[in-house]
Each structure stands twice: as structure tokens, then as C-alpha cells.
Structure 1
């Protein structure tokens, strides 16, 4: 495993909260955090950052994309330090108006406190974080507005959910009949061309077998493209698992009610499973997750299992 520069510190968080990357430039005193985790972990995020900063303020906050597990801590960090906050440029209108129809939080049945922004990230922009020069790289696919950060000299890529060690995030645009598979393929090609030595993913450990990760991601993408129902079924499982990560345990009826009230779930069922009642989709999802050890069923209760 390639060692990261001392200026970079990665807080590996799991799946409810995305990884956080803290960048400290001792020469200038600049400090920046990339991605802030989920709302229910905001106090933990704040504590981790404060401990690492050791009395210094957090001056900048950057989001690779605006899914709740990447920006849910923004409001808490802004309340404490008032960092200059940068978001992908295409999200500016939605965040300024806090438009539930454009933002993903309500549609996915997830939480995020309202936050503000000060600057926008465009493909090709250049940043200096932790005394290192970075390029902003557009990364549509998982999220049409997502970006990555690439540092050419140490060849480090902060990939968000565009590339993990074993896969990538749900291709959400395809769930609403929009193009996403082609964009994800193009992003993987772009990552390949960057020739990164080390990847800091949105979830999971830092890794340096970049070629292997790209190959695995391409195989996964080919599998999903072969039958879009696979992406839809996977998305339902991911959203249910995320809810259980958030709540840890729920009555079966309450979890079903949440699923019925989540508009993205309704759209997935209508588009990909029109002949299957939502309750049947719910039952199939629980059985599938239980079968791989992701949850346990105990009478009328559903419990998360890590």
C-alpha cells in the first residue's frame, strides 16, 4: 500500500457515512475536509475533525457529490467553523433553493440538514489542498453531478463513489430511465487514463491496486448493463440496508411504511417491477439481505447486521 502524504488524513467511516479526507497545510495554515458523512454521524464527524485539527479551525469544506452520506455533516461543520464550502456546480440551484424535487434526500428517504455553499466545483478546476495541487474531474454515472479530485504529482485520486476497491455506487440515473451506464463507463476510462497510484474511495479502505479495481468495476458494470433490473434490485437493497444502518432496528411494519413513503422506491417498482406489488418487493428484499447476512429477522422486527 502506498503511503499517503502526512498532509492527508483519511477517516474511514463505513457505509452510513462516507469517508472523510482531512487536508492540512502546515505551511499556510489552510485546512480542508472532503465530504462530511451522514447526518446522524455529524457529531462524530465533528469530533474526529476537531481532534485532528488540534485547535485549528476548519477553513474549507468540499463535497464530491450531494448524496446524504457525503454531505449530511455539512450543517454541523458550518455551524462550528463557518468553512468556505464548495459543491459541484450543477447542484447550485438545488442547494440555494433547497429544492426537494432536485435534491435526493427526500426521494431516497434519507436525512440532511439544510446547508449553504460559497463556491462551485467545475470539471478542470484546480485546487490546492494540504499543500498539494489537485484537479477537479467530473464523474457522472453514480450521480450525474459528481466530481473527483486528482493530485497528479503524488498520483492520488479521491474518487467519491465513482470507484471503490470492489465496484462503485448505485447508478441512480438509470432508475429514472436516464443514461448512467454509459457515463459510468466513461468515468472508468477517465480514471484509467489518469494513471492514479493510490485511490481514496468514498467507502472502504484506501487502495493502490487501481488497475484491478477498474477491471472489477468494468465487470460489475457489464453485469448491470446486461439487465437493468439488476441495478434496480440492487438499489432497493442498498436503500433498505442504509435505512437499517441508520436505525439499527425497526418493526417490519415501520420499515415497510418507510418504503411505501419513499418516492424513489415507488418509481423503481413502477418502472422495473410493475407486476410485483411493493409489499412483495419488500419481502423479496428482506429475504435477499438476510440471505447474505446483511440483516436478521426476529418475528416482527428487522435488525441491521454489520
Structure 2
């Protein structure tokens, strides 16, 4: 079973996840949202305290609130970014995205993945594999990471507790998102823990039962 730790970073309250194998200490950082040195130090201190070997950097999608910390992770740990190529245009527009939200974009760098991830791919964290599920709609390249052995899924901004990702941003598609959630996520076991990109964890069973967007 893998361990998972959530950090809430930046003014958008992004959940940045560290997932690691307690035996090998190999770790993945997912959606690094750190926006300043103080937040970078929080994450780095945790990695150092747990003696983790960071081997994976993954973005569920490339909206700027989820990519602020990518340059730091790349530089500090010497690893490549994995994400969907369908979101490449968003990563390249990171400074423009920041300005759209009224932020100072002078320190916001364009971000581009080194390794393309697509639906059906796998990534390895220690002794466990995650299945990559493509669930577009919030963004064209939105990905979900499903860890079947550990019975949890990291959903980015696809699925939240009692809600779903917004689809009014560039290239969003509401019906596509709903269809993808129902087909790819609600088919997972009910006890699967859901770790979203913002807010509190939930379960697949709870969202099937009470999420008003999925009825």
C-alpha cells in the first residue's frame, strides 16, 4: 500500500500530492502548486524528513494553479514532467493564465511536459503501478491517476466532493466531462478513495450516491 500526503498551496488552494512507497521510498509529486519559496520549503522539508526519492512528476492538467511549482521540482530533483500533450497549449500560456486571474506573472514560467501521458498509460511508484485515465472536459488533457492496489484515485479538477470541474475555461466541455466521469470513474469500486485537486477527499461510492451533477 502506498502512502499519500496532501498539501494545500497558493491562493487557489490547490491540493499537491506526494505519493510514496513506504518500503522503497520512491515518490511521485502530483500537481505542484507551490507559488513562493515558503511553500517550496514546506514540500522540500517533508521530502527530506521522510527520506523520499522523488522519481515522478505528474500534472493532472496544465492550468496555472497546478503548475506554479513545476520549475522548482524539475530543478531540485532533476526529474521530467509527465502530462497530456493535449494541454501543451495551456502550459505554454501559464503567464497569460496568471494575468487572467489578476496575478503578477513576472515570475510565472511557461511549462511544457517532457513525457506525454495518455489514457491507458501506466506510471510506477515504487512497487505499485497507477493507471492513467483520460477524462477531458475541464481541460482537453485532464488526466486521472488510479492506484488500484492502494484503492485510491487522484482526480485533479475532474471530480470533487459533491461537485465536478468547471468547464467555462478555455476548451472546456461540460458534456464531455460528465460522460467521462460516468464512464471512467463511476465504474471504479465504491470504496475507492478520491483525492481531488481542491477540497476534501471523498469516495466513488459517495459521489455515485449524492453528487448532484452526476444524476
- Quick check: TM above 0.5? yes
How far off is 1:66 after superposition?
0.7
Structure with the bigger percentage of strand = 2
Change (3 A) 1:118 1:100: closer
How far off is 1:109 after superposition?
4.1
8 Å contact 1:75–1:114 — kept in the other structure? no
Equivalence for 2:133:
137
In the alignment, structure 1 segments of 5+ residues that lack a partner are: 223-306
CA RMSD of aligned residues (A): 2.9
Q: 1:201 aligns with which of 193, 196, 199?
A: 196
8 Å contact 1:24–1:131 — kept in the other structure? no
Secondary structure of the equivalent of 1:193? Answer: coil
Equivalence for 2:124:
128
How far off is 1:85 after superposition?
1.2
> TM-score, with normalisation over the residues of structure 1?
0.59
Q: Distance in 2 between matches of 1:100 and 1:75?
A: 12
> TM-score, with normalisation over the residues of structure 2?
0.81
Change (3 A) 1:70 1:213: same
Q: 2:173 aligns with which of 176, 180, 187?
A: 180
In the alignment, structure 2 segments of 5+ residues that lack a partner are: none
How far off is 1:27 after superposition?
4.1
Q: Distance in 2 between matches of 1:45 and 1:82?
A: 19
Equivalence for 1:211:
205
Q: Distance in 1 between matches of 2:165 and 2:146?
A: 19
How many residue pairs are counted as aligned between the two chains?
Answer: 208
Equivalence for 2:159:
163
Equivalence for 1:58:
54
Structure with the bigger percentage of helix = 1
Q: 1:149 aligns with which of 120, 145, 149?
A: 145
How far off is 1:63 after superposition?
0.4
Q: Distance in 2 between matches of 1:128 and 1:182?
A: 31
Larger radius of gyration: 1
